[in-house]
């Protein structure tokens, strides 16, 4: 009996010592333990355990207030160091030349394990376009590109307007006899964009946009995912970063419910994805190539058709597993970012009556309530307003990369190291993590001028030449990233956002329903959302709406 106990204890001790060795090696000998050359300056670490992680993951500040990264830029320049868990060094850069080099060389710079970890928890283990790298990613983009081209987005514009009109009618029902209604724009826009991605993505009706308060399974699934990003626990943040002790931390996180909620949500998304794929295949088998039907125009149907094209070599075609992996990616990327961006647009209109009136005048000059994509793009004030919204309120504030080999990073702005020496390039080591600060590029005063933090749509009538150095895929902005991994759905997002604004601004006068001082920006997991100081754990934008006279439509 005693010998059996000794054996068990020996096994337990051996396992413990093995993991202890891995932790010690990871903390002290992992590439992130080494300092980049030259040694970068940066803010002092508030904690050896978490470093700056908690401060940068979840941050609350006033709209128009300088971000924490911008404050650090003023002290340390465009490229500086921050600390991660266990004293690990990370690099933050807002240098456009550095960012261009990193995004262009996607074979060297890939998503770091921490980012891959959270994406796998949200999307599952299958290789979606957000998770895949290298040749697999290029093959997936080749198959998917036709579904996001201008010809297809033109066909989807009608669906964008159908849901925008449905949202308008629901809001109209909230108007009281006094002529004023109260709505939470953030909540309703998330429902509208969820319905849009369901219909245009998979010919699937989520029925999120209803005035009866009904919540379907997908609403619950996505809500569970998003809530975990608003204010995650310390243990959960470490699960994503401390790789050698992830099994232990994951168990603790399971006990707290965070990881369990994320994994359950991901599994439900996978099951819904399998159902959608089966229905899409059955529909295509029954209808063939009838592109004129709504079902044949959804993204998954086009992806399946493209996948069967003779132009795609058999070895580059996507398997059913690959196709299913894109479905939760379409949903999460396709509804949340557009919802947040449009909410920010209404926020700016509500507090800028002159901009609102000027935009409405242009929209009411269009003699149809459902213009074509080309007509939307020919409206200069709407276009400038959307560009300025996406500049100042880019939903994604940063993206992360890890170097797969040692590399020299070019710099626009020289680095001053801890000894006061000036350097024109930065040696980065294999395994080093780099944060690309997208929001800070979009608001860089050296590029956009001293009014970079001010909302001014008219700036787009004559933008400075300096912004031409910004390596974005669209409009000299980093909002949709750039390079081979630039956002594939940027056209989709722009036209959907314009359709929603076109319909709502023509129909209602908008005003804030809370004091301006109560509104805050919640930056959580690199997403910035509008919220309330008293309730920062979810997106909020309470508005007062006044319907315009029908004769004005």
Annotated binding residues for heme, as ranges? Answer: 487
Residue 440 vs residues 94, 208, 433, 446, 477: alpha-carbon distances, Å: 6, 34, 18, 11, 11
Task: Give the E-state strand segments of 453-541 in sequence order.
Answer: 508-512, 519-524, 527-532
- How far is C-alpha 353 from the chain's CA centre? 29
Contact (CB, 8 A) for 36 and 82: no
* Environment class of 23 (CB within 10 Å of its CB; exposed 0-12, middle 13-18, buried 19+): middle
Give the helix/strand (H/E) hosting 75. Answer: helix 68-76
CA dihedral 157→530→438→432, nearest 10 degrees, is: -120
Give the residue carrying structure tokens 């996507």: 318
- Quick one: DSSP state of residue 37? B
Instruction: Look at strands 181-184 and 542-547 and give their pairing.
Output: antiparallel
**What is the edge-to-edge ordering of all strands in the sheet holding 542-547?**
181-184, 542-547, 508-512
Q: How far apart are the first and last CA of the chain?
A: 87
Q: Which tokens in the block code for residue 479?
A: 């909002």
């Amino acid at each position: 009996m005693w010998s059996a106990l000794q054996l068990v204890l020996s096994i337990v001790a051996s396992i413990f010592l093995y993991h202890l060795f891995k932790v010690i090696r990871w903390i002290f000998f992992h590439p992130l333990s080494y300092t980049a050359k030259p040694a970068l300056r940066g803010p002092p670490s508030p904690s050896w355990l978490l470093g700056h992680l908690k401060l940068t993951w979840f941050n609350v500040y006033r709209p128009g207030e300088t971000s924490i990264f911008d404050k650090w830029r003023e002290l340390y320049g465009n490229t500086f160091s921050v600390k991660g868990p266990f004293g690990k060094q990370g690099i933050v850069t807002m240098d456009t030349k550095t960012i261009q080099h990193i995004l262009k060389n996607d074979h060297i710079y890939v998503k770091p394990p921490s980012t891959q970890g959270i994406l796998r928890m949200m999307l599952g283990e299958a290789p979606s376009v957000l998770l895949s790298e290298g040749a697999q990613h290029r093959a997936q983009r080749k198959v998917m590109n036709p579904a996001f081209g201008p010809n297809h987005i033109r066909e989807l514009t009608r669906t964008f307007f159908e849901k925008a009109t449905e949202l308008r009618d629901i809001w109209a029902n909230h108007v009281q006899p006094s002529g004023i209604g109260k709505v939470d724009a953030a909540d309703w826009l998330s429902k509208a964009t969820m319905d849009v991605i369901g219909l245009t993505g998979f010919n699937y009706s989520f029925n999120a946009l209803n005035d009866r308060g009904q919540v379907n399974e997908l609403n619950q699934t996505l809500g569970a995912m998003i809530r975990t990003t608003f204010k995650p626990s310390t243990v959960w943040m470490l699960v994503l970063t401390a790789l050698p002790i992830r099994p232990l931390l994951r168990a603790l996180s399971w006990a707290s419910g965070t990881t369990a909620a994320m994994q359950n949500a991901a599994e439900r998304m996978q099951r819904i994805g399998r159902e959608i794929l089966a229905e899409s295949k059955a529909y295509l088998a029954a209808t063939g190539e009838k592109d004129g039907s709504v079902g044949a125009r959804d993204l998954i149907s086009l992806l399946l058709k493209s996948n069967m094209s003779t132009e795609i070599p058999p070895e580059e075609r996507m398997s059913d597993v690959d196709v299913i992996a894109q479905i939760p990616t379409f949903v999460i990327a396709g509804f949340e970012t557009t919802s947040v961006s449009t909410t920010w647009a209404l926020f700016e209109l509500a507090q800028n009556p002159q901009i609102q009136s000027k935009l409405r005048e242009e929209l009411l000059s269009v003699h149809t309530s459902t213009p074509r994509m080309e007509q939307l793009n020919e409206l200069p004030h709407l276009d400038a307003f959307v560009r300025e919204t996406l500049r100042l309120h880019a939903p994604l504030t940063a993206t992360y990369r890890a170097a797969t080999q040692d590399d020299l990073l070019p710099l626009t702005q020289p680095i001053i190291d801890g000894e006061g020496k000036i350097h024109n390039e930065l040696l980065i080591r294999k395994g080093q993590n780099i944060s690309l600060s997208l929001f800070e590029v979009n608001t860089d005063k050296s590029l956009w001028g001293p009014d970079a933090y001010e909302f001014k749509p008219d700036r787009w009538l004559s933008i400075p030449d300096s912004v031409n150095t910004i390596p974005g895929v669209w409009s000299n902005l980093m909002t949709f990233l750039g390079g081979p991994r630039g956002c594939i759905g940027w056209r989709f997002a722009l036209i959907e956002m314009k359709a929603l604004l076109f319909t709502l601004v023509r129909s209602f006068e908008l005003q804030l329903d809370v004091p301006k001082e109560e509104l805050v920006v919640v930056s959580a997991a690199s997403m910035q959302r509008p919220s309330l100081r008293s309730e920062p754990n979810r997106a909020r934008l309470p508005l007062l709406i006044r319907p315009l006279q029908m004769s004005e439509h």
